[in-house]
Amino acid sequence: MFFFKIISSLLSRFHVEKIIKRQYVQDYATLVELCKQLEKSKLLAIDTEFVRTRTLYPKLGLLQVSDGEVIALIDPVTIEDLSPFWALLTNEHIVKVLHACSEDLEVFLTAANCKPVNFIDSQIMMAFLGHGLSLGYAAMVQHFTGVELDKSESRTDWIKRPLTERQKTYAEADVEYLHQIYPKIYQLIVDAGWLAAAQQETQLMIERKFTPIDGEFMYQNIKMNWKLNAKQLNALKYLAAWRYQQAQKRDLPLGFIAKDHTLIAIAQRDPISVGAMIGIEGVEVLDIKHKGKAMLQVLNQANKIPENEYPEKIIRLDDYPAYKQIFKQVKNFIAKAAKDADLLPENLASKKQINHFLSWHFKINNADKDENIIDILYGWRFELFGEKLQTFANNDFK
């Protein structure tokens, strides 16, 4: 008995590293076998590697997953059917964690229209723990483990084959440490009382990523659109919708079809020929040379629209009476609410979210009819300060 006590004591002084199986999955049969094992897990750490340099949509180069016992790199270049993996993402019985998942959600959407469930973003969780909204994965790992990750492979070509051993090691680390430290993050956020809020924030991101983009409203995202009158704005509306359709069809970034300032300049001047287009100040000559004729056709189509169907002129929120003072009032209100909740003000509302609320409150640019969620008046934010903010706005805004 004494001997066994000594052995137990000695073993307790040493950390016995868990042996983790590492797999590089390059065929469908192995993928099926892997996913049968993973579907029994309670928690999966997931990541993706993709390339998005000259395309509208991200090109999936690698899928990484770990259940704590196996770390698998799944090769979408050699495996055409990834449905067993997508089934894991939609399995409601498995928690999936991913760090800074915004672009990864686009990968899931464009690669398979796969909308994940029971999914949470560890970057969002860390924000509720006082680490800011944009804490990187390497910084999070170092915070919890002291390990400094090599991130030099983050911008490599993940489509090119074969992958190097260095790339594989880099990719494995993105899920290995995430699975290790997630239980710590989970316990911390449960103790802090913000788990439900982090889940809501993640779900809100998912819903927005999977909401179809309506090309007819793309003109609203173009800078300087407020300079245009109703007729010019109608031309911009048609040009922006055409550009988005072309970008989708050819899988090119919007700017590769035509630059924003080219569309603005053409909408302002309504030229009648390609030659006239080239003479407009502010246009990109290459845009005109390659797309001038197509844009003329779009303008002709826009000019057939009756005036009563023109979009309303866009009002700049900055030009609203006393905007700067009102914005400051809201910002101070939110800062106090954040202090009371022991959160950073940026957790409660960004400048964009405040402006969205103000546009809704003052009924600017039909924001009061916008079906999009007003973040400040939704979910955990509304419970925390939204109702008080509405009362404050109704009573104090002049």
8 A C-beta contact, residue 99 and residue 182: no
**What's the CA gap between 46 and 104, in Å, rounded?**
10
Q: CB-based burial of residue 322 (10 Å sphere; 0-12 exposed, 13-18 middle, 19+ buried)?
A: exposed
Q: Which of 49, 75, 201, 287 is catalytic?
A: 49
Amino acid at 303: N
Does the active-site annotation cover 340?
A: no
Q: Which of 67, 121, 170, 260 is catalytic?
A: 170
Distance CA 393, CA 29 (A): 60
The answer to whether 80 is a known catalytic residue is no
Q: Say how far apart CA 201 and CA 295 lie, in whole Å.
A: 40
Count of CB atoms situated within 10 Å of the CB of 380: 19
Residue 137 bears catalytic tag: no
Residue of 75, 121, 172, 174 marked active site: 174
- Which of the residues 104, 260, 287, 375 is marked catalytic? 104
> Within its chain, how far is the Cα of 348 from the centroid?
18
Q: Tokens for 106, please give them.
A: 């686009």
Degrees to nearest 5, angle at CA 309 with 352 and 297: 95
Catalytic residue among 47, 67, 172, 176: 47
Q: Helical H runs in 54-164?
A: 83-89, 102-112, 122-128, 137-145
- 47 catalytic per annotation: yes
Q: Which residues sit opposite 50 in a β-bridge?
A: 60
- Report which residue type is found at 44: L
- Cβ pair 267, 224 in contact under 8 A: no
Determine contact, residues 4/27, Cβ cutoff 8 Å.
Answer: no
Residue closest to 22 by CA, chosen among 85, 66, 87: 66
Q: Are strands 43-51 and 95-98 parallel, antiparallel or unpaired?
A: parallel
Q: Residue 243 corresponds to which amino acid?
A: R
Calpha distance 80→101 (Å, rounded):
23
27 assigned to active site: no
Q: Which residues are catalytic?
A: 47, 49, 104, 170, 174
